[in-house]
Amino acid sequence: MKPAKGKAAEEEARSAVIETALAMSRSGLSPGRSGNVSVRFDTGMLITPTGMAYEDLRARDIVFVNDRGEVPAKKSRKPSSEWRFHLSAYHARPDMGAIVHTHSPHATVLACAHKAIPAFHYMVAIAGGKDIPVVPYDTFGTQELARHVAKGLFERDACLMANHGQIALGTTLERALELAREVETLAEQYYKVLTLGKPFVLGDEEMERVLKRFKSYGQNAQK
């Protein structure tokens, strides 16, 4: 997708990143200072800074990182330690414009158990496939983790990150946050189903039908 450019668009994007980060935190998707948010902008992205409480953020604190992973502004804050996997995800998915990464409780529980979310419910298709996969673990902030995330998101709009949390993509910040909420809801439901025993998983043929119907579902029918 074509990234926004210009001074006015940048100010608006910076404010939107802060609003999304606050909404993410206040809804319980990412407690404390955990998680991070970015939006595609100009030749790179705008991303939350590392180690700052979301309530303290101002527009000037949001960090621009260019497509090469550089921070051009000399007086800029340091970007989130996870900027590498944000940038890698944008490279893998040029159709997406925003990323929300959270440590939401149930998604993180499943991620720590290395359990993907299968098609126990048809709404799993909201992430763009027949399951919500778990990508392999690597140390936070590393290029190795960035490669795992990019691979996991190549054919999905969301995935779990082993021993870490979840990450969701969207064409806009609003849609990325909405998907992160959906993933957490599905993770909670799946966790509870597992307490009852082996879940019934919908077959590939049915999920293919669901995915096809999702393409014309709701507002998608107008696109």
Tens-digit pLDDT profile for residues 2-44: 788 888 999 999 999 999 999 999 999 988 888 999 999 999 9
Q: How far apart are CA 16 and CA 36, in angstroms?
A: 13
Residue 215 pLDDT level (bands cut at 50, 70, 90): confident
Q: Is the pLDDT of residue 219 over 70?
A: no
Residue 220 pLDDT level (bands cut at 50, 70, 90): low
pLDDT of 221: 45
In the set 82, 144, 155, 206, the catalytic residue is 82
* β-pair partners for 46: 39, 64
Angstrom CA distances, 177 to 135, 157, 160, 212, stand at: 20, 12, 15, 23
pLDDT of 179: 98
182 catalytic residue (yes or no): no
* Strand intervals (E) in the chain: 36-41, 44-47, 63-66, 98-102, 134-135, 158-161, 165-170
83-92 vs 143-152: helix crossing angle, rounded to 10: 40
pLDDT of 3: 81
Q: Is the pLDDT of residue 222 over 70?
A: no
pLDDT of 223: 42
Chain CA centroid to CA 194, Å? 25
pTM confidence score: 0.94
Q: What is the mean pLDDT of residues 42-62?
A: 95
What's the pLDDT tens digit per position in 115-153?
Answer: 999 999 999 999 999 999 999 999 999 999 999 999 999
Architecture category of domain 7-222 in CATH: 3-Layer(aba) Sandwich (3.40)
Q: Which carries the bigger pLDDT value, residue 77 or residue 33? A: 77
148-154-155-161 Cα dihedral, nearest 10 degrees = 30
What's the pLDDT tens digit per position in 173-213?
Answer: 999 999 999 999 999 999 999 999 999 999 999 999 999 99
pLDDT of 116: 98
